């Protein structure tokens, strides 16, 4: 009896995109962090994670998927931040046979965030006409509790609670020793800490522990430094960043102080604008 052909995975990264927000305190560029999209594929079918924001990003991603010459069977959404689902329907127009899968909580949160099929006006302010045409509300299926089969291999979704937002989940591919971690893990990019208050950081640490418990060899972060691979060590690096964030949040009294302190603590990380995005949510001034 022949063995089931092995799965593979590849990661495509949508580049940082300009965004309109109040200027950074250091007058640096305002850029949305790069976005990772993981294609898990076998001989005949594939699963994609977390579509990007803009139509142009999605069209580039479509071309990359097509180059693999394998049927896109599933699109998996890790959580309900708009930068992880905005172009889902745009992709489905090209891949009409694909099924969107996510947790029930993620699908419910997306529906609440897109009344009438449109994104909140603040996102139109951020990206203007680059956003996809409505409707953007996602019609999907709940990821089966017993997992999915992709070319005979098991894939599992695990709800891990709060990371940089509520109801986050991750994709586990045991045969690849792979976890696609959404926003639970960041790869040398400044995390968004806008939802850190009220126990948010403690909950995020617990989510990281759940990812570590899966004992992955490879961890794909949704926001990653394109110069780096996908090491499991990013779990511990994210833990350390959150510890720094807790200290700085406790000692800061305004947005600018928080921004400068976090940037100084982690100067090697990509895209300080993400600190500023969080600061705008954490402080009134």
Question: Residue 149's Cα: distance from chain center in Å?
Answer: 23
Domains contained in the chain, number: 1
Q: Are strands 148-150 and 153-161 parallel, antiparallel or unpaired?
A: antiparallel
Edge-to-edge strand ranges of the sheet holding 45-49: 8-14, 35-41, 45-49, 71-76, 99-102, 141-142
Domain that holds residue 35: 8-282
Q: What pLDDT, on a 0 to 100 scale, did the predictor assign at position 1?
A: 40
Distance between CA 195 and CA 132 in Å, rounded?
26
> What six digits make up the tokens of 252?
């800061």
Distances in Å between the Cα of 269 and the Cα atoms of 146, 190, 201 are 37, 6, 19
How confident is the prediction along the chain (285 residues), in pLDDT tens digits per residue?
446 779 999 999 999 999 988 899 999 999 999 999 999 999 999 999 999 999 999 999 999 999 999 999 999 999 999 999 999 999 999 999 999 999 999 999 999 999 999 999 999 999 999 999 999 999 999 999 999 999 999 999 999 999 999 999 999 999 999 999 999 999 999 999 999 999 999 999 999 999 999 999 999 999 999 999 999 999 999 999 999 999 999 999 999 999 999 999 999 999 999 999 999 999 999
Distance between CA 190 and CA 248 in Å, rounded?
14
Q: What pLDDT, on a 0 to 100 scale, did the predictor assign at position 174?
A: 98
Q: What pLDDT, on a 0 to 100 scale, did the predictor assign at position 5?
A: 72
Distances in Å between the Cα of 268 and the Cα atoms of 93, 98, 192 are 39, 39, 16
Distance between CA 190 and CA 193 in Å, rounded?
9
Q: Is residue 265 part of a domain?
A: yes
Q: Is residue 1 part of a domain?
A: no
The H-assigned helical ranges of the chain are 55-66, 88-94, 104-113, 121-127, 200-213, 234-251, 255-265, 273-282
DSSP tag of 232: T
Distances in Å between the Cα of 253 and the Cα atoms of 37, 185, 282 are 36, 27, 10
Stated pTM of the model: 0.96
Q: Is residue 99 part of a domain?
A: yes
Q: The CATH number of the domain where 274 resides is what? A: 3.60.15.10
């Amino acid at each position: 009896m022949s063995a089931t052909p092995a799965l593979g995975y590849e990661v495509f990264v949508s580049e940082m995109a300009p965004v309109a927000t109040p200027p950074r305190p250091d007058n640096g560029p305002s850029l949305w962090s790069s976005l990772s999209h993981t294609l898990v594929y076998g001989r005949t079918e594939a699963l994609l994670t977390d579509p990007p924001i803009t139509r142009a990003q999605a069209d580039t991603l479509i071309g990359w998927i097509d180059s693999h010459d394998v049927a896109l069977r599933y699109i998996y959404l890790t959580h309900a931040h708009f930068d992880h689902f905005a172009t889902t329907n745009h992709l489905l127009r090209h891949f009409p046979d694909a099924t969107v899968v996510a947790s029930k909580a993620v699908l419910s949160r997306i529906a609440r965030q897109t009344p009438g099929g449109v994104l909140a006006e603040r996102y139109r302010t951020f990206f203007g006409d680059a956003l996809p045409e409505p409707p953007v509300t996602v019609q999907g299926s709940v990821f089966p509790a017993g997992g999915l089969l992709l070319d005979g291999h098991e894939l599992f979704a695990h709800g891990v609670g709060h990371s940089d937002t509520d109801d986050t989940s991750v994709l586990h591919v045991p045969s690849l020793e792979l976890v696609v971690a959404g926003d639970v893990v960041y790869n040398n990019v400044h995390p968004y800490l806008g939802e850190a208050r009220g126990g948010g950081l403690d909950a995020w640490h617990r989510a990281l522990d759940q990812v570590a418990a899966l004992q992955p060899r490879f961890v794909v972060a949704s926001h990653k430094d394109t110069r780096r691979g996908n090491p499991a060590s990013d779990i511990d690096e994210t833990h350390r960043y959150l510890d720094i964030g807790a200290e700085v949040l406790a000692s800061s009294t305004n947005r600018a102080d928080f921004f400068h302190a976090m940037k100084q603590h982690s100067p090697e990380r990509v895209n300080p604008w993400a600190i500023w995005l969080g600061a705008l949510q954490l402080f009134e001034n």
